[in-house]
Amino acid sequence: MKRNYISPEYDYSKVFGTYNMREESTFFGSKMLEIEDMIEIHNQGIIYYQNKDNEQIDLSIETSIEPIVYSTSDDKKLNHELIIDDSQTDSQKNILTKYIMNINIGKIFTNYIFSTLKQYRTFEGISNNMCSSGDINRSINEYINNNILSRYDFNRVELFIKYFDIKDQDIRRFNNTWSSDISSIATEEFKFKRMQTKKDFDNSNIIVMFNQEKSSQSYTYEYYFKLFWTKR
């Protein structure tokens, strides 16, 4: 048999389709995750199961392991900051104090979608070695970044405030706290309506500016917020 000493220029190797976490359109259509028209992040708790390597392979085994619990309220608390506006005058600060709230809506939204995909076991059966990064969680986040984030626009933030009389307790002035308890009474009675918002162009961050409506000399408050996105 005559030998052929011509070396091939390319080497063709089989790889898992999960190496590519970007959905590609074809003439006959392509698979795409079904998504909701409106997403509201309120006070949901999401529970899901996985093995010690973050994989979802066998539910009957994984349910014997302590579940992962994702709290939207805790996530919102972690990914926002409330500060006093330094640009206001002392007289403004001492009466109807102006506040600036900075919310990392991009991080909160991604965490919520990630936990939802885990809850519904969307990537069940995919192990770490089937991902280009070698990490299923990283690949899920890649999928979210490549296919889901661009399909939603941030719609609005709803802020809820409950005032408390501090009387002569000056030490409590400006000590305003996040409270998930308000989520159960997040009604029109406590809804704060006079505020301004400024959103980053890429839906990653939103700034909320508002004035305390009851004198900060006599009142402090607990607060809570809901976040909404709509499908494009």
* Overall number of domains in the chain: 1
Nearest by Cα to 163 from 217, 118, 127: 217
Could you tell me if residue 166 is inside a domain?
Answer: yes
- Determine the structural domain holding residue 109 and report its residue range: 37-231
Could you tell me if residue 25 is inside a domain?
Answer: no
Could you tell me if residue 11 is inside a domain?
Answer: no
Could you tell me if residue 13 is inside a domain?
Answer: no
Could you tell me if residue 6 is inside a domain?
Answer: no
Could you tell me if residue 157 is inside a domain?
Answer: yes
Given its phi and psi angles, is residue 183 left (phi above 0), alpha (psi -120 to 50 degrees) or beta? alpha
Q: Tens digits of per-residue pLDDT, 102-124?
A: 999 999 999 999 999 999 999 99
Contacts of 152 (CB under 8 A, 6+ apart): 35, 39, 109, 203, 229, 230, 231, 232
Could you tell me if residue 18 is inside a domain?
Answer: no
Could you tell me if residue 90 is inside a domain?
Answer: yes
Q: Tens digits of per-residue pLDDT, 145-197?
A: 999 999 999 999 999 999 999 876 666 788 899 998 887 777 788 999 999 99
